[in-house]
Structure 1
Amino acid sequence: MNTIWQGRLDGEELLYHRIFQRVRQETNYDSITTNNFVLHGFAVDEGVRRNKGRQGAKNAPDIIRKNMANFPVIFPDFSLLDFGNITCEDNNLETTQNLLAKNVSKVLLKGGKSLVLGGGHEVTFGHYRGIRTAFPEHKIGIINFDAHFDNRQPEERIGASSGTGFWQISQEGEINSLHIGIQRNSNTLKLFDTAHQLGMKYILADELFFENLPSVYERVNELAESVDILYVTICMDVFNASIAPGVSASAYNGIFADAAFMHLYRHILRNEKLAALDIAEVNPDVDIQDRTSRLAASLANEWFMV
């Protein structure tokens, strides 16, 4: 019996369907058709360990799945293919990121929409590389909801981590990114300077309020119009600790999933160029009442409803 994808069964007719009734667990990438949502779990937090954060994010994908299972299905043609979890063997993060990239590229080349549930924010480099592999000639835009820039240069004896993803992406070519929710007290001047040097645009957490949405929309639209493909990555530590306590590095002054945020988030999700989304840094080991997992599940479900 599938113990992850279970929920309330109101009936078998389409009008009664919940997500768990429309999930198909798969191993064959040839089964993907255009506009299928395709899920991988990135059950990895080796990058968090290397970055000296609180480990536990590797346990998140299945818990997020459980919290997704009971959401109602909105569109009659909705389909979610679940390809299971990718794990990190022998602490070999680089090999694991490459495996994710390989699988994501297969999804996108089949016309599927890539959803990845982390895991640590080291998922970003693997997910991005998968998009780049599938579309090497396309200009890729990244919208990163995060309190941190994650643009540290890897340390020689440690290697890549959850904090190096955007520096790694910048080494692959021009970076086209907008980082939303950045905290001044979570990034050193060096990290701000690196962001400027690499051309990483950003919106501070303090700028995310309802009256300022027209300005924020303008900056989001500017990025979206300048690229061929959009990729959204969400680090759950961007949110206030009261609604997302279960993260590697909690933020007492993080943003809220309030009306202003949801208007912005849905605006981004409605963009036809959006091909990939991931959610990172849920740590069930330190979560309270599944608050962070539930929020992560809700954010994934929003993509299914636009």
Structure 2
Amino acid sequence: MAGDGPCHNPWPRACVAASLSCAWRARALPADPPFGLPIAGVTMTNDVVAPPTVALIGAPTDVGAGARGASMGPEALRVAGLHTALAHHGVVVEDWGNLSGPANPWQPAVDGYRHLDEVVQWNRAVHRAVGAALAQGRLPILLGGDHCLAVGSISAVAQHCRARGQKLRVLWLDAHADFNTSALTPSGNLHGMPLACLCGFGPAALVHLGGQGPAVQPQQVRQIGIRSVDAGEKRFVHEQGLEVYDMRYIDEMGMRHTMEQALAGVDADTHLHVSFDVDFLDPEIAPGVGTTVPGGPTYREAQLCMEMIADTGRLGSLDIVELNPALDVRNRTAQLAVDLVESLFGKSTLMREHQVRRRG
């Protein structure tokens, strides 16, 4: 399974030789705002935006992964100063502590899935916690843990959006498509399947986790930074019509254009969910992940990605997953993740007056 091992392409920035094609969807963009980040459909304003109240929700498990260690991710993010960094930007931070769930039994796959019962239990806990945070008007930040937890997180967000009649846009920042099924991958590791489960392809207990399945439709998802995809998974991604901005697209078009396309149509009625797998980043700057793939976004590309998301003012929920302190160097990757999350909440490189976009 490509999601469980490094890419061996000698040309890092072209790691997917037959790259996932992403149709250039031509859209009429508005005139450039003063700071030059045109995003279709987003209202711009000089009004001050009240900072959100966030709920930090730890899910310390690596039950869906192929390597141990992601269970230590939540504490590494706290040690790296996530709470203080967000508070510095005026964000009200509530740390809800860690969820509890079954231990990782570290067993082989059964009927195509590893640790399915344990993965379901963890995702139910995540679903309840994220749903409770949203119901209380909080912006939930899920501290993973491996990426299988996105099933519970995004299912809760989708349920919240359906109840409010609100549109949902999911940005999937990842080196991997995570669109495998038990028929496509021999490993059975569920951290390679969460997006497929969310779109209706997977075990019923995960597909219908929120009481209604599928949780999302492929057209609600934008995948960014993809560069390691199994052959069968690639065909399946094409069949489902996922909108993918792989690393070749970013190389050719640049991160600014990529994000303009990924965010096009986001408006005041859109809930924006970011599922940030730390292996989205190039391993030269972020070594602390279990499935490193060369050729990912640089520090500046990642910062621009986050700043343009922040510019929309529509961020409503966030996953930070697959951070593996056991493979890190002096918590370097956790510190970088905190730095990037700061950019999602207002830190900017801009040295000139910065208009903001209206949240409400």
TM bin (shorter chain):
0.7 to 0.9
Alpha-carbon distance between aligned partners in 2 of 1:165 and 1:254, rounded to the nearest angstrom:
21
Q: Which amino acid aligns with 2:315?
A: L
Alpha-carbon distance between aligned partners in 2 of 1:227 and 1:168, rounded to the nearest angstrom:
25
Aligned to 2:192: 163
Alpha-carbon distance between aligned partners in 2 of 1:59 and 1:72, rounded to the nearest angstrom:
21
Alpha-carbon distance between aligned partners in 2 of 1:226 and 1:273, rounded to the nearest angstrom:
7
Alpha-carbon distance between aligned partners in 2 of 1:190 and 1:159, rounded to the nearest angstrom:
14
Match of 2:94 among 71, 77, 81: 81
Spell out, residue by residue over 1:81-133, the C-alpha distance to the aligned partner (whole angstroms, 9 max, x if none).
Answer: 01111233155110110111111111112221111111101121111011122
Residue 275 of structure 2 aligns to a residue in which SS?
strand
CA contact (8 A) 1:101 1:133 kept: no
Shift of 1:150: 0.2
Alpha-carbon distance between aligned partners in 2 of 1:261 and 1:159, rounded to the nearest angstrom:
30
Question: Aligned pair 1:138/2:151, yes or no?
Answer: no
Aligned to 2:289: 247
Q: Can you give the 5+ residue segments of structure 1 that lack an aligned partner in the other structure? A: 1-33
Alpha-carbon distance between aligned partners in 2 of 1:197 and 1:138, rounded to the nearest angstrom:
27
Aligned to 1:41: 58
Aligned to 1:8: none
From the superposition, tell whether residues 227 and 196 of structure 1 become closer, same or farther in structure 2 (CA, over 3 Å): farther
From the superposition, tell whether residues 71 and 122 of structure 1 become closer, same or farther in structure 2 (CA, over 3 Å): same
Q: Can you give the 5+ residue segments of structure 2 that lack an aligned partner in the other structure? A: 1-50, 105-117, 201-213, 348-360
CA contact (8 A) 1:141 1:224 kept: yes
Alpha-carbon distance between aligned partners in 1 of 2:329 and 2:306, rounded to the nearest angstrom:
24
Alpha-carbon distance between aligned partners in 2 of 1:75 and 1:253, rounded to the nearest angstrom:
31
Aligned to 1:31: none
- TM-score, length basis structure 1: 0.79
Match of 1:152 among 172, 180, 188: 180
Q: Which amino acid aligns with 2:225?
A: G
Q: Which has the higher contact order (CA 8 A, sep 6+)?
A: 2
Matched-pair identity in %: 22
Question: Aligned pair 1:71/2:71, yes or no?
Answer: no
From the superposition, tell whether residues 236 and 133 of structure 1 become closer, same or farther in structure 2 (CA, over 3 Å): same
Backbone CA RMSD of aligned residues: 2.7
Alpha-carbon distance between aligned partners in 1 of 2:269 and 2:236, rounded to the nearest angstrom:
22
Alpha-carbon distance between aligned partners in 2 of 1:214 and 1:284, rounded to the nearest angstrom:
31
Match of 1:96 among 119, 122, 129: 122
Question: Aligned pair 1:270/2:311, yes or no?
Answer: yes
Alpha-carbon distance between aligned partners in 2 of 1:157 and 1:89, rounded to the nearest angstrom:
24
What number of residue pairs does the alignment pair up? Answer: 266
CA contact (8 A) 1:38 1:83 kept: yes
Residue 98 of structure 1 aligns to a residue in which SS?
helix
Alpha-carbon distance between aligned partners in 2 of 1:80 and 1:126, rounded to the nearest angstrom:
22
Alpha-carbon distance between aligned partners in 2 of 1:226 and 1:79, rounded to the nearest angstrom:
22
Spell out, residue by residue over 1:21-51, the C-alpha distance to the aligned partner (whole angstroms, 9 max, x if none).
Answer: xxxxxxxxxxxxx931111011111000xxx
Q: Which amino acid aligns with 1:38?
A: A
Question: Aligned pair 1:192/2:238, yes or no?
Answer: no
CA contact (8 A) 2:85 2:338 kept: no
Residue 282 of structure 1 aligns to a residue in which SS?
coil
Shift of 1:70: 4.9
Alpha-carbon distance between aligned partners in 2 of 1:243 and 1:115, rounded to the nearest angstrom:
23
Alpha-carbon distance between aligned partners in 1 of 2:329 and 2:124, rounded to the nearest angstrom:
33
From the superposition, tell whether residues 244 and 217 of structure 1 become closer, same or farther in structure 2 (CA, over 3 Å): closer
Aligned to 2:223: 179
Spell out, residue by residue over 1:140-168, the C-alpha distance to the aligned partner (whole angstroms, 9 max, x if none).
Answer: 21101111100111469987711111111
CA contact (8 A) 1:114 1:276 kept: yes
